[in-house]
């Protein structure tokens, strides 16, 4: 690496090494120190080094929706170094408060998509789709899609994906029209003047669950309208082609969660004692997994793991799987203290980790009714600094719509030439 000098005569490679150990938010602050720092910290070699470091420190990311108001709050925490210790407590960092959005959020490669955000104080007025980075505070307001003619009263379903080859984010929107037919639209983030465009889908289906994006392919559960049976739809984010995968091995779809299993899509379900459905007081009996080994041949492998006998009877939701092959499950929001459980199928061990906020507890969690958690969130500056996110949440805080504990004005456009 070329050893040019920075301010204070610090060699550039040492400068990179120091700043690569900082969290994304701190790097964003440092970029606003001067144009020189902004230029240095925007170099490709620093971005690649930062990603390499980030891959060794993945985080657990929480998105929580508050009762009644519809506001969203974002937290994150490091995964515990050893979740199988008898007593593990992990601190949770608060990032931003997001405006009201009655719709579900979607996640892909560090960014969130909200299809319907209220940007005015009047309910429902001026609602727009928004993509945001909860760590840096950057966001982008997308053009609002116009409902197709003859559309039904069903709310459109949207999915969010990322293509790691072209490094593009795309939103897939599915409208249901008369006769249960569907209209598919796509929007590419940052592609000049952003606009929704129609794409063809040869598959007769209706989306049933939220999706997951793995290595540039978006997977979601769907019901086949002509067969009345369930399947997994694969959508290639780069080529925009659809493929249908038979999912009869799941049986009924109740409780199925799609997760990333070592780069493969996997369906997971918890089965409870005296029934497959959770009921108060019932303990988890086993965890069932179906891994799609070959997409072209549609070959599945099934694994069944008995749950530890000391398993909790509180309702658990499957979050995902870490890179160390631990299944992460979260308790319901009514629990106190708030715990996240790590289940190791190989060891047949279950350990719950107590998450504590900046005040020493998460008392505020009891005011939420929805929680989404995302495992192995990696801070990637090549995504966080993408020119698609041209605006800062700080600019809208005067309207009372966005709040952050980050009081430094560094949550601003990063192309500040």
pLDDT digits (tens, 9 = 90+) for 78-96: 777 665 565 577 777 788 7
**Nearest in space to 174 (alpha carbons), one of 145, 150, 194, 195:** 145
Compute the average pLDDT of residues 238-261: 87
Q: Does the pLDDT value for residue 196 go beyond 70?
A: yes
Domain for residue 415, yes or no?
Answer: no
What average pLDDT does the chain have?
A: 75
Instruction: Determine which of 113-122, 198-207, 359-368 has the lowest per-residue pLDDT on average.
Output: 359-368
Pair 5, 134 in one domain: no
Pair 225, 95 in one domain: yes
Instruction: Identify which has the larger pLDDT, 299 or 359.
Output: 299
Q: Which of 57, 76, 93 is the last residue of a domain?
A: 57
Instruction: Identify which has the larger pLDDT, 229 or 365.
Output: 229
Q: Is the peptide bond before 265 cis (omega within 30 degrees of 0)?
A: no
pLDDT value of residue 291: 94
Domain for residue 69, yes or no?
Answer: yes
Pair 9, 89 in one domain: no
Pair 199, 289 in one domain: yes
Compute the average pLDDT of residues 277-293: 75
Compute the average pLDDT of residues 20-38: 80
Pair 39, 81 in one domain: no
Domain for residue 125, yes or no?
Answer: yes
CB atoms under 10 Å from CB of 220, counted, come to 23
Q: Does the pLDDT value for residue 67 go beyond 60?
A: yes
Q: What is the CATH number of the domain that holds 196?
A: 2.120.10
Domain for residue 172, yes or no?
Answer: yes
Q: How many domains does the chain have?
A: 2
Domain for residue 303, yes or no?
Answer: yes
pLDDT band at 190 (very low <50, low <70, confident <90, very high): confident
Pair 310, 323 in one domain: yes
Pair 52, 192 in one domain: no
Domain for residue 417, yes or no?
Answer: no
CB atoms under 10 Å from CB of 374, counted, come to 19
Domain for residue 409, yes or no?
Answer: no
pLDDT value of residue 186: 94
Pair 136, 225 in one domain: yes
The radius of gyration of the chain from alpha carbons, rounded to an integer in Å, stands at: 22
Report the distance separating Cα 326 and Cα 18, nearest Å.
31
Structural domain boundaries, residue 392: 58-404
Q: Does the pLDDT value for residue 338 go beyond 90?
A: no
pLDDT band at 267 (very low <50, low <70, confident <90, very high): very high
pLDDT value of residue 411: 27
Distance in Å from the first CA to the final CA of the chain: 26
pLDDT band at 7 (very low <50, low <70, confident <90, very high): low
Pair 50, 64 in one domain: no
Q: Does the pLDDT value for residue 5 go beyond 60?
A: no
pLDDT band at 385 (very low <50, low <70, confident <90, very high): very low
Pair 31, 115 in one domain: no
Pair 46, 179 in one domain: no
Pair 2, 91 in one domain: no
pTM for the model stands at: 0.80
Q: Does the pLDDT value for residue 406 go beyond 60?
A: no
């Amino acid at each position: 690496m070329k050893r040019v000098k920075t301010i204070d005569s610090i060699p550039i490679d040492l400068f990179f090494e120091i700043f690569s150990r900082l969290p994304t938010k701190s790097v964003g602050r440092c970029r606003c120190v001067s144009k020189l720092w902004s230029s240095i910290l925007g170099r490709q070699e620093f971005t690649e080094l930062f990603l390499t470091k980030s891959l060794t420190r993945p985080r657990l990311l929480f998105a929580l929706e508050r009762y009644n108001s519809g506001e969203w709050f974002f937290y994150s925490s490091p995964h515990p170094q050893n979740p199988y210790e008898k007593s593990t407590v992990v601190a949770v960092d608060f990032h931003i408060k997001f405006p009201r959005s009655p719709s579900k959020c979607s996640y892909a490669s560090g960014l969130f998509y909200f299809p319907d955000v209220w940007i005015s104080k009047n309910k429902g007025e001026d609602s727009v789709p928004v993509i945001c980075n909860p760590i840096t505070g950057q966001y982008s307001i997308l053009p609002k899609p116009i409902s197709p003619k003859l559309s039904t009263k069903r709310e459109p379903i949207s999915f969010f994906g990322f293509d790691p080859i072209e490094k593009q984010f795309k939103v897939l929107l599915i409208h249901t029209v008369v006769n249960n037919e569907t209209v598919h639209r796509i929007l590419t983030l940052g592609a000049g003047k952003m606009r929704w465009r129609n794409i063809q889908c040869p598959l007769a289906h209706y989306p049933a669950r939220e999706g997951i994006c793995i290595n540039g392919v978006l997977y979601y559960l769907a019901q086949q309208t002509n067969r009345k049976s369930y399947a997994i739809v694969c959508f290639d984010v780069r080529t925009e082609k659809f493929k249908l995968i038979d999912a009869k091995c799941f049986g009924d779809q109740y409780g199925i969660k799609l997760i990333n299993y070592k780069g493969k899509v996997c369906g997971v379900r918890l089965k409870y004692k005296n029934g497959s459905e959770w009921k108060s007081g019932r303990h988890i009996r086993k965890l069932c997994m179906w891994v799609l080994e070959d997409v072209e041949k549609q070959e599945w492998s099934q694994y069944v793991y008995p749950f530890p006998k000391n398993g909790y009877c509180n309702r658990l939701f499957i979050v995902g799987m870490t890179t160390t092959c631990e299944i992460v499950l979260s308790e319901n929001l009514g629990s106190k203290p708030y715990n996240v459980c790590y289940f190791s199928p190989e060891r047949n061990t279950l350990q719950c980790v107590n998450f504590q906020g900046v005040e020493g507890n998460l008392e505020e969690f009891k005011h939420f009714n929805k929680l989404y958690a995302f495992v192995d969130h990696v801070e990637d500056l090549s995504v966080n600094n993408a020119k698609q996110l041209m605006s800062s949440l700080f600019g809208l805080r005067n309207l009372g719509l966005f709040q952050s504990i980050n009081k430094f004005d560094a949550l601003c456009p990063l192309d500040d030439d």
